[in-house]
Structure 1
Amino acid sequence: MKLGLMVNTPELAQRLEHALEPLHDIHWVAQDETQALRLCRDMPPELLLLQLGTADRVAFSQRVMNEAPCPLLLLDLATELHTEWAFNALGHGALDVVHLPELANGSAFNPALLLRKIQNIAWLATPPQPVTQRATRTSAKRACLIAIGASAGGPATLNQLLRELPKDLDAAVVLVQHLDDKFSAGMAEWLARESTLPVRLVQAGEIPQTGVVLLAGRNEHLTVSRRGDLQYSLKPDAQIYRPSIDIFFQSIAEQWRGDAIGVLLTGMGRDGADGLKAMRERGFATITQDQSSSVVWGMPKAAVAIDAAAEVLPLDRIANRLAELCRWMAVKRNS
């Protein structure tokens, strides 16, 4: 890939160039925001690596996405995670964030994680294998499960959605967000501060609970078993992202024995589209975010293209629609 670099010192740029140049072309290195913005316009990189470090860098990420859009990977090089800055920048459209304190403190630097993140972004548009037709639905035996997937732009979008869900929501909620697991606990705490519902990380083996929001918290796939419990797995390893939204949605289509709703939100690429279609084919309700309210209308667009979504809604209508569907399903279960 042709990479743009914007880091705080020439030494950091040199270390990154040394690690990346065998596989990637360092298109340019910017010394300040004005130069970086001009280069994004005049010599667009296939990916811009931007070092976090101040709130101004978060604002700059928004300027890049508004004025010279290009794929953006955040580098958090501080010893302590800049979780809130990272989530805000991801909300503006950055694709991912990687925590590499050893790059800045002079320690031995293993570039494998960074190279994997870059490769994931390069592969984002590659469609996964098509899903097969699913079996017909079994009768509902559990409360409703709302499964939500998001990627670029997801943290801020999820924050708004959870704020708008009612406190008496008659459903369990499970979130799969493309995010390095180092940031997962911080994201759960960040979401919980404003959510109407409690938010915490998924623990392997637990069963989703009504009125509780669970966030996938490992660099592993999340699945639901026929028993209804949540499990982590490294397989299949061919998927670009762990956790994969497709893998989670498909496990619900194959294993979940109650009511379910699949929701696919903002994100680049097409992860989640085939899984959402599998859920719809099983008879579950499916919703995607519309283009006007999406930070990146990639994953929802892919779902719309294959008729995976029964409804395409702006973000500010999704929470109310979920509550309506849950009430209707509760009446149906109790009738």
Structure 2
Amino acid sequence: MIKVLIVDDSEVELEFLDFMLSSDSDIKIIGKVKDGTEAIDFLVHTKPDVITMDIHMPKMDGYEATKIIMETNPVPIVIVSASSGTEVDKTYEAISAGALAFVEKPVGFDHPNFEKVKIQLIQTIKLMSEVKVVKRRFKLMEELKSSKPVTNHFGGLVPKEYSMIVIGVSTGGPAVLQSILSKLPENFSIPIIIVQHITTGFLPGLTEWLSTSTPLKYKIPQNNDVIEQGFVYFAPDDFHLGIARDNRIILSKQEMENGLRPSVSYLFRTAANIIRENLIGIILTGMGKDGAAELKLIRDNGGLTIAQDKDTSIVFGMPQEAIKLNAAQYILPPERIASLLIKLASKN
């Protein structure tokens, strides 16, 4: 049984979340409180397996509560947020402070997406209940942001120029992307293309957050955009992103792959077939197997491949599937991925 504490200043939202989560027999609601201070007080005497945390609340908001909880009495936290304005900004601050994931505020019973949103919320709660969190993650994140990548010796590197990096990531992605990208220099020369599975409406906030906390330039591209050095591109909501022969981005509404659009598989496959041996493919934390077989294609075509290691993955699904297929030449934590990318870019 997964014990959940719900934190929200709206009585209606408290009851609605209670109703949705209680519909699953594996979940038990053990408390409902109306702001961050009440959540912290609750944890003094009772320890839930997961906390769902609202962002905007009186007395203490979700970001401040997350920061304090993760420093003093850590519990897996899922942010429940609207996808617009300051809520998105605060959501990513809470991710920096140690929250593991976020979901969009639930829609009403009569909304056509109600069942889909409910399933996503319950699935996220179940996944996060299995994550072991530790004290002082906030301070650790601050140290990671300010530290330089460690110097490593990577065996088996073939001297060559790489022209593109493709990354696939899902659950737990924003924090690990921030950890890697913040360590790359401002003049990093290899363009980076990312598929991040994310709730619709949260992507612009992610690129804005990364642009303020890393030295790189970010873009959500239009169809037929030319890929430029020095940019990081994110696949837009509900579009596959592919690579064309003339170094352009192709956006597609083709059928979902692995139940997803955008799909990591689509990006990796098109890039592997165009860029071939000059491609770096990276698969990071996330649920499922999206991109795993195509990472093997990148390797088979002569590209260099990396998977995030188990210890640092919030959800080890996607990297594990790639590793099972012998798709990853390197299995590394985020800081070593950054170091390897810097070393590879130095050959350009």
Conserved 8 A contact 2:184-2:215? yes
| TM score, norm. by length of structure 2 | 0.70
Do the aligned partners of 1:267 and 1:296 also contact (CA within 8 Å) in 2?
A: yes
1:28 partner letter: K
Q: Which of 61, 77, 80 pairs up with 1:75?
A: 80
Distance 2:13 2:204 in 1: 28
**Counterpart code for 2:90:** W
Q: Which amino acid aligns with 1:114?
A: V
Over 3 Å counting, the alpha-carbon distance change for 1:181 and 1:231 in structure 2 is farther
Q: Does 1:58 align with 2:66?
A: yes
Write the distance in 2 (CA, Å) between the matches of 1:64 and 1:263.
34
Instruction: Judge conservation of contact 2:84–2:201 (CA < 8 Å) in 1.
Output: no
What does 1:1-335 correspond to in 2, within 5 Å? 4=4, 6-8=6-8, 9-16=10-17, 24-25=24-25, 27-29=27-29, 30-32=31-33, 33=39, 34=42, 38=46, 40-41=48-49, 49-53=52-56, 54=61, 55-59=63-67, 62=70, 66-67=74-75, 73-77=78-82, 80-90=85-95, 92=98, 94-99=100-105, 109-110=111-112, 111=114, 114-115=117-118, 117-118=120-121, 144-256=163-275, 259-328=278-347, 330=348
Residues 115 and 207 of structure 1: CA distance in aligned 2, closer, same or farther (over 3 Å): farther
Give the counterpart letter for 2:290 in structure 1: D
| 1:260, distance to aligned residue in structure 2 (A) | 1.0
- TM-score w.r.t. length of structure 1: 0.73
In structure 2, C-alpha distance between the alignment counterparts of 1:218 and 1:203, rounded to whole Å: 12
Aligned partners of 1:82, 1:241: CA distance in 2, in Å? 25
Q: Which residue of 1 aligns with 2:157?
A: none
Tell me the secondary structure at the aligned position of residue 82 of structure 1. helix
Q: 1:185 to 1:78 in 2, by over 3 A?
A: closer
1:131 aligns to what? none
In structure 2, C-alpha distance between the alignment counterparts of 1:207 and 1:266, rounded to whole Å: 28
* Structure 2 letter corresponding to 1:84: D
In the alignment, structure 1 segments of 5+ residues that lack a partner are 125-141, 331-335
CA distance in 2, matches of 1:321, 1:175: 18
Q: CA deviation at 1:153?
A: 2.3
CA contact (8 A) 2:276 2:298 kept: no
Find the aligned partners of 2:268 and 2:342 in 1 and give their Cα distance: 20
Alpha carbons of 1:35 and 1:146: their partners in 2 closer, same or farther (altered >3 Å)? same
CA RMSD, aligned part only? 3.7
TM-superposed CA distance for 1:17, in Å, is: 5.9
- Pairwise CA distance, 1:201: 1.4
Q: How many residues align?
A: 299
1:243 is matched by which residue type in structure 2?
P
Task: Say which SS state the counterpart of residue 182 (structure 2) adopts.
Answer: helix
Provide, for residues 173-213 of structure 1, a one-character-per-residue CA deviation record: whole Å limited to 9, x for no partner.
11221212311111111111132221121222212211111
Deviations 1:131-153 (A, max 9, x none): xxxxxxxxxxx961111122222
State the Cα deviation string for residues 111-168 of structure 1 (Å, max 9, x = none): 25514634875999xxxxxxxxxxxxxxxxx961111122222212212222211233
Contact 1:175–1:215 (CA under 8 A) maintained in structure 2? yes
Q: Measured at CA, do residues 152 and 269 of structure 1 come closer, stay the same or move farther in structure 2, by a change above 3 Å?
A: same
In structure 2, the gaps of 5 or more residues are 34-38, 128-160
Contact between 1:58 and 1:85, CA under 8 Å: does it hold in 2?
no
Identity across matched positions, percent: 26
The CA deviation at 1:309 is 0.7
- Name the CA shift for 1:216/1:291 in 2 (closer, same or farther; >3 Å): same
Mapped partners of 2:123, 2:240: distance in 1 = 15
Partner AA of 1:300 in structure 2:
P
Code of the residue aligned with 1:325 in structure 2: it is L
